[in-house]
Amino acid sequence: MRNLFFSLMCMVVCSAALGQAASIQWMSLEEAVEAQKKEPRKIMMDVYTQWCGPCKMMMANTFTNANVINYVNANYYAVKFDAESPGDVQFEGKTYSNPTYDPNRRGRNGVHELSRALGVNAYPTLVYFDEKAGVIAPISGYKQPGQMELYLKFFHEAYQPGAGQEAWEQYRDSFEYTWR
């Protein structure tokens, strides 16, 4: 009887642990670039702000989706970057900062130079980088899990440097969605 109780308790604990949703393994841009040296992968960077409603929706609805989590963790280095953060970022031999950041200001708070350098002009924006940290494209706007599937798979599986709009349109038009 004691062994049966112990076995049942183990099953309950293991089931609870397995039932907890995994999460995207977020890192800084510097960490992702360093990781690329050991294991080349593309980078997906979520550029957001604290006050942005669609950014919060993506965090709550998209980046918690099991399909998104599993695909991103298996195929990308995921970077989360607050476009109004005060800290310096080292990228491509340059130091980027937010010189207009004011620690006493509430709400919008200056734009980090890195955001501008990456072509970000709306939030949220997902910036995709190649395996050598070269910017492929910034894609702005809220994306649901199904919409993320298209972009994640295109940049991981089909993107070729120099491929133009035609290659994207052909991929997009023939894409079969599997995430809902």
Residue 9, domain member (yes or no)? no
The per-residue pLDDT for range 63-87, each reduced to its tens digit, is 999 999 999 999 999 999 999 999 9
| Residue 73 to residue 151: CA distance in whole angstroms | 15
Residue 96, domain member (yes or no)? yes
Residue 16, domain member (yes or no)? no
Residue 34, domain member (yes or no)? yes
Residue 9 has phi, psi (to 5 degrees) of -65, -40
- Residue 13 pLDDT exceeds 50: no
Of 40-49, 85-94, 97-106, the one with minimum mean pLDDT is 97-106
Terminus-to-terminus CA distance in the chain, angstroms? Answer: 44
Domain span including residue 52: 22-174
- CATH number for the domain spanning 139: value is 3.40.30.10
Residue 74, domain member (yes or no)? yes
- Residue 33 pLDDT exceeds 50: yes
The per-residue pLDDT for range 112-170, each reduced to its tens digit, is 999 999 999 999 999 999 999 999 999 999 999 999 999 999 999 999 988 888 999 99
Residue 13, domain member (yes or no)? no
Task: Give the count of domains, the chain.
Answer: 1
Residue 3, domain member (yes or no)? no
Residue 44, domain member (yes or no)? yes
